């Protein structure tokens, strides 16, 4: 007889976008057994959810958690936000199928220790062995495919290299990958031409995968970069996901009206989605070409100067008596937060009906961007409740039903009898992010109870045992 838990009298926001309604939710074993008026005698454990929202567990569609789920499987930054599934392998960067101790840039965003999986199946087995607190679904990175196949990266792949990358990707799709990601913005992928991207993407299309991309530029040439991504997905024959959509750089601010209109037009011809995080700063490796002397930049990591982590680049430059570019060079290699977006643009993307929520958090940074710990409560608290930018049900839809459909995660993402019991219970009046740029590693408020595959895996303020259940697993793409 499997364990039963009754979530009594909560507001059920079921992940479809429809209005919430008052009901009980019965979890039996790993499954949602019943939604409605449930006889309490049916349950071994009863949790009073009056005044609380009962929602599907959140799906973080844009992460770089590939290695951290193995090394820190408690996944506190994520489960404390109500996240029950992360999609790893974004921006062209995945662990599989790369085997090396010296990963090329920007694969080092995942650390350097875990590039040891020649097949996605081996990574999946490592995830299951690590027993993370949350589920993991995986994209395969185009830059990683290049690293696995090509001896140098300053040119577009040859016919032979394209065929070998496609073959590697087909194997990964057999192992359950949800699709291909690319990061043609980054060194070591920038030289890829459309033929390379299309031929590789087509290998994911045959198995029903998606193509998620960090496009070639989010600065002045963004429309052309979006068109390139759309052509790649169209000719490759698979749905497009535009990663962390933004108009970057002060000269480009105000243009999301234009980019979203372009996306809507493209979407009349092909399936398109996008993801967004609720902050005006991006974060990535430290790069001199992103230092314009105008925007604020905060250092999140620096190998030669760890004492400067958490400081503003402009302050460091002043202290050293050099230009910001020179200060940047001295800090390399490292990472940074770049305040490269306008609030108005970000809000427009967040409110767009097609956008999903993805944290893009970087868990290996010493002083990470607060999005790692705060993204989902920030959308629900600050943007939905406090500013009224989007309805509660719409915000939940962007975190649950929409991503589950786009990434082929089957019945996860919506609450209904028979669905896997990934459930997040939160207080809509109280939920709020506490992570800031000054103090980024802060647990959010208002996430009350989180169930992963039926196991109660997180409770706010509770004296949870140090080893409370970790019940996540590797999720294979669901065949439809």
Which residues bind to Zn ion, rule: CB under 5 A? 91, 214
Minimum distance from residue 277 beta carbon to Zn ion (Å): 11
For the chain, the residue count is 480
Minimum distance from residue 353 beta carbon to Zn ion (Å): 22
**302-335 core/surface letters (b: 16 or more CB in 10 A; e: else):** beebeebbbbbbbebbeeeeeebeebbeebeebb
214 vs 216, beta carbon nearer Zn ion: 214
CB 360 within 8 A of CB 277: yes
Question: Using CA atoms, how far apart are residues 387 and 394, in angstroms rounded to an integer?
Answer: 14
Minimum distance from residue 217 beta carbon to Zn ion (Å): 12
**Which residues on neighbouring strands pair with residue 35, listed in sequence order?**
25
Question: Using CA atoms, how far apart are residues 382 and 479, in angstroms rounded to an integer?
Answer: 37
Distance, CA of 330 to chain centre:
31
33 vs 91, beta carbon nearer Zn ion: 91
Question: Using CA atoms, how far apart are residues 329 and 349, in angstroms rounded to an integer?
Answer: 33
32 vs 212, beta carbon nearer Zn ion: 212
10 vs 363, beta carbon nearer Zn ion: 363
Q: What is the CA radius of gyration of the chain?
A: 22
Minimum distance from residue 406 beta carbon to Zn ion (Å): 17
242 vs 399, beta carbon nearer Zn ion: 242
214 vs 255, beta carbon nearer Zn ion: 214
Helix axis angle for 159-174 and 194-205, nearest 10°, is 30
Token pair for 404 = 């589950």
Question: Using CA atoms, how far apart are residues 400 and 410, in angstroms rounded to an integer?
Answer: 11
**Which residues on neighbouring strands pair with residue 298, listed in sequence order?**
312, 337
Q: How many CA atoms lie within 13 A of 264 on its CB side?
A: 9
73 vs 108, beta carbon nearer Zn ion: 108
62 vs 419, beta carbon nearer Zn ion: 62
Minimum distance from residue 376 beta carbon to Zn ion (Å): 19
97 vs 183, beta carbon nearer Zn ion: 183
Minimum distance from residue 62 beta carbon to Zn ion (Å): 8
Minimum distance from residue 91 beta carbon to Zn ion (Å): 3
Label residue 35 left, alpha or beta by phi (over 0 means left) and psi (-120 to 50 means alpha): beta
Question: Using CA atoms, how far apart are residues 352 and 318, in angstroms rounded to an integer?
Answer: 40
Roughly how many angstroms between the first and final C-alpha of the chain, as a whole number?
Answer: 31
Distance, CA of 203 to chain centre:
23
Per DSSP, the three-state class of 345 is helix
Give the DSSP letter of residue 110.
G
Per DSSP, the three-state class of 154 is coil
115 vs 185, beta carbon nearer Zn ion: 185
Per DSSP, the three-state class of 364 is coil
91 vs 107, beta carbon nearer Zn ion: 91
The closest alpha carbon to 401, from 97, 95, 61, 161, belongs to 61
Question: Using CA atoms, how far apart are residues 140 and 96, in angstroms rounded to an integer?
Answer: 7
Question: Using CA atoms, how far apart are residues 322 and 438, in angstroms rounded to an integer?
Answer: 24
């Amino acid at each position: 007889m499997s364990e039963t838990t009754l979530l009594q009298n909560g507001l059920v926001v079921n992940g479809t976008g429809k209005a919430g309604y008052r009901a009980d939710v019965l979890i039996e074993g790993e499954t949602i057994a019943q939604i409605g008026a449930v006889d309490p005698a049916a349950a071994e454990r009863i949790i009073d959810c009056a005044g609380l929202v009962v929602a599907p567990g959140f799906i973080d569609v844009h992460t770089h958690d590939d290695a951290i789920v193995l090394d820190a499987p408690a996944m506190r930054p994520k489960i404390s936000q109500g996240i029950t599934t992360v999609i790893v392998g974004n921006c062209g960067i995945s662990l599989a199928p790369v085997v090396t101790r010296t990963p090329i840039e920007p694969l080092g965003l995942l650390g350097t220790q875990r590039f040891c999986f020649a097949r996605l199946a081996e990574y999946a087995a490592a995830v299951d062995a690590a027993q993370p607190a949350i589920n993991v679904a995986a994209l395969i990175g185009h830059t990683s495919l290049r690293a696995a196949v090509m001896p140098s990266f300053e040119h577009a792949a040859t016919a032979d290299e394209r065929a070998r990358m496609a073959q590697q990707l087909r194997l990964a799709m057999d192992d359950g990958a949800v699709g291909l990601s690319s990061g043609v913005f980054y060194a070591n992928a920038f030289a890829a031409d459309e033929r390379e991207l299309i031929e590789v993407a087509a290998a994911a299309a045959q198995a029903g995968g998606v193509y998620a991309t960090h496009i070639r530029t989010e600065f002045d040439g963004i429309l052309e970069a979006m068109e390139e991504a759309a052509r790649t997905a169209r000719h490759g024959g698979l749905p497009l996901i535009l990663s962390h959509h933004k108009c970057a750089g002060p000269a480009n601010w105000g243009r999301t009206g234009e980019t979203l209109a372009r996306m809507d037009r493209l979407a009349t011809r092909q399936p398109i989605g996008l993801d967004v995080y609720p902050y005006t700063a991006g974060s990535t490796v430290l790069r001199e070409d992103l230092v314009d002397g105008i925007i604020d930049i905060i250092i999140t990591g620096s190998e030669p100067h760890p004492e400067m982590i958490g400081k503003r680049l402009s302050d460091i430059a002043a202290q050293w008596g050099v230009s910001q570019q020179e200060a940047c060079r001295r800090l390399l290699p490292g990472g940074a937060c770049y305040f490269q977006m306008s609030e108005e643009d970000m809000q427009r993307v967040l409110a767009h009906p097609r956008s999903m929520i993805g944290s893009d958090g970087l868990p290996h940074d010493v002083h990470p961007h607060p999005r790692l710990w705060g993204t989902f409560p920030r959308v629900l608290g600050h943007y939905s409740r406090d500013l009224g930018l989007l309805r509660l049900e719409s915000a939940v839809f962007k975190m649950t039903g929409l991503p589950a459909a786009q990434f082929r995660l089957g019945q996860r993402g919506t609450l209904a009898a028979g669905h896997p019991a990934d459930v997040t219970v939160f207080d809509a009046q109280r939920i709020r992010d506490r992570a800031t740029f000054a103090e980024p590693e802060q647990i959010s408020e208002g996430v009350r109870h989180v169930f992963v595959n039926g196991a109660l895996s997180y409770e706010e303020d509770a004296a949870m045992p140090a080893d409370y259940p970790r019940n996540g697993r590797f999720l294979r793409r669901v065949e439809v």
